[in-house]
Amino acid sequence: MSSPAKTAEKTSLTPADYKGRVKPIWCPGCGDFGVLNAITRSLAALGIEPRRLALASGIGCSSRIPGFVNCYGFHGAHGRALPVAVGIKLANPRLTVLALGGDGDGLSIGIGHFPHVARRNLDITYIMMDNRIYGLTKGQTSPTTLEGRRTKTSPAGALEQPLNPVELAVIFNATYVARGYSANLKELQDLITRGIQHRGFSMVHVLSPCVTFGKGSGFDYFGPRTKPLPDDHDPRDRQQALLRSAVEETIYTGVFYETERAEYVEQIQAIGSGVGRELDEDGPRIEVDRLIQRFS
């Protein structure tokens, strides 16, 4: 399901071309470094020019990422990465648009947007960096914190069932759903690349441990539990994707689900919308006579 338009503009870009003007402020060893690396490698491999790249994020450690990338970056409000990404893509469909944020941003305050963007199948890639904790605010329970885990706001252990973003994305009818691990750079780069190439809404869930507040869900936790999806996994099989996303003892990585469905911009362009930012004066004009007819 890769689109020729996206691979055609390949030039000789390297990951260094995507270095942003802001220096990462993450703690040394943070899982998000791996994600940043994987993203810039994917972009370079796909040859997406920085000027045609827009990154929209929410608030949180991982949401700082647009500043670290040479692109048109929008570091907005907590939980609102997806709505902003939608607006950018609809206003200029020529852009490659990534939405980025953490588990708190996307599954707590911003979860209301997730199903709706997924069901619209708008061609953006949502990368959710999941450390199972609120890191920027120094260690409170997040919506993916495991039950029973002690945090600053769950001193007796978390009482809630954690949410599973891969399972949710499949249920919300996202057309590309993958999970990667920030310590497995090669696989993650591949998953992100395929996600960007996918025509429609793609969601990449990344296990990205917090080395400072992530006790109990650090690299030592994920390392032994993370395994690629079995060879027999068929990404077109929605039931299988749901089953394997919910396995507890092993945390699978890879493409869980991929399907083809009409993409949102293509649909609105069919009725005339989605021209986006006009670059010359020859765009569509107001049909004055029809308007006068309509309103008289």
Partner 1 sequence: MNASDFVMGISGGAGEGVILTGDLMTQIAARSNLHISSTQTFPAEVRGGQSYVQIRFGVDNVFNPGDQLHVLVAFNNLAYHRYKQTVASDAILIVDGDPETTDRAKAFGDWRGGPIYVVPMTRIAKQDIGEVRSKNMVALGAVTAHLGFSEGHGERIVERFFSKKARKLIEPNLAGYRAGRAYVEKHVTKQDHLTIPEIRGEGYLVLSGNDAIALGALYAGCRFYGGYPITPASEIMQVLAEELPHVGGTMYQAEDEIASLGAVLGASFAGVRAMTATSGPGLSLMGELLGLSGIAEIPLVIVDVQRGGPSTGLPTKTEQSDLLPALYGGHGEFPRVVMAPISIRNCFAVMRQAFEVAETYQVPVVVLSEQGLGHRRATLSKSLLAQTPMARTARPLKTWEPTYNRYKVTDNGISPRALPEDPGGMHLITGLEHWDFGGPSHNPANRTEMVQKRFRKLRNLDRRYGGVFAFKGEDAAQHLHATTDEEAGRLSAAEESFRGQIGVIGWGANAGVVREAVARAERRGIDVSAVFPKMISPHNDLTIRPFIEGHQKIVVIEQNYIGQYARFLQRYYDFEPVRLNKYDGLPFTPNDVLRKIEEVASHV
The residue ranges that bind partner 1 (CB under 8 A) are 20-22, 50-52, 54, 56, 59, 64, 66-67, 70-77, 80, 82-92, 94-95, 112-113, 116, 268, 271-281, 283-288, 290-292, 295-296
**In the complex, minimum distance from the CB of residue 174 to partner 1, in angstroms, rounded to a whole number:** 15
Which residues lie closer than 8 Å to 93 by C-beta, 6 or more apart? 123, 265, 269, 274, 276
Q: Per-residue b/e over 123-142, b at no fewer than 16 CB within 10 Å? A: bbbbbbbbbbbbbbeebebb
Nearer to partner 1 (CB atom), residue 254 or residue 274: 274
Q: Helix axis angle, 31-46 relative to 185-197, nearest 10°? A: 50
**In the complex, minimum distance from the CB of residue 146 to partner 1, in angstroms, rounded to a whole number:** 29
**In the complex, minimum distance from the CB of residue 53 to partner 1, in angstroms, rounded to a whole number:** 8
The residues facing 206 across adjacent strands are 129, 180
Work out whether strand 251-258 and strand 176-181 pair parallel, antiparallel, or are unpaired: antiparallel
Work out whether strand 125-130 and strand 202-207 pair parallel, antiparallel, or are unpaired: parallel
Q: How far is CA 176 from CA 94, 161, 196, in A?
A: 20, 25, 10
**In the complex, minimum distance from the CB of residue 87 to partner 1, in angstroms, rounded to a whole number:** 2
Nearer to partner 1 (CB atom), residue 211 or residue 268: 268
**In the complex, minimum distance from the CB of residue 291 to partner 1, in angstroms, rounded to a whole number:** 5
Nearer to partner 1 (CB atom), residue 236 or residue 277: 277
Nearer to partner 1 (CB atom), residue 252 or residue 264: 264
**In the complex, minimum distance from the CB of residue 271 to partner 1, in angstroms, rounded to a whole number:** 5
Report d(CA 160, CA 5) in Å as an integer: 44
**In the complex, minimum distance from the CB of residue 290 to partner 1, in angstroms, rounded to a whole number:** 8
Nearer to partner 1 (CB atom), residue 104 or residue 218: 104
Nearer to partner 1 (CB atom), residue 261 or residue 277: 277
Which residues lie closer than 8 Å to 141 by C-beta, 6 or more apart? 133, 134, 149, 151, 153, 154, 158, 160
Cα-Cα-Cα-Cα dihedral of 46, 48, 49, 52, to 10°? 180
Nearer to partner 1 (CB atom), residue 52 or residue 149: 52
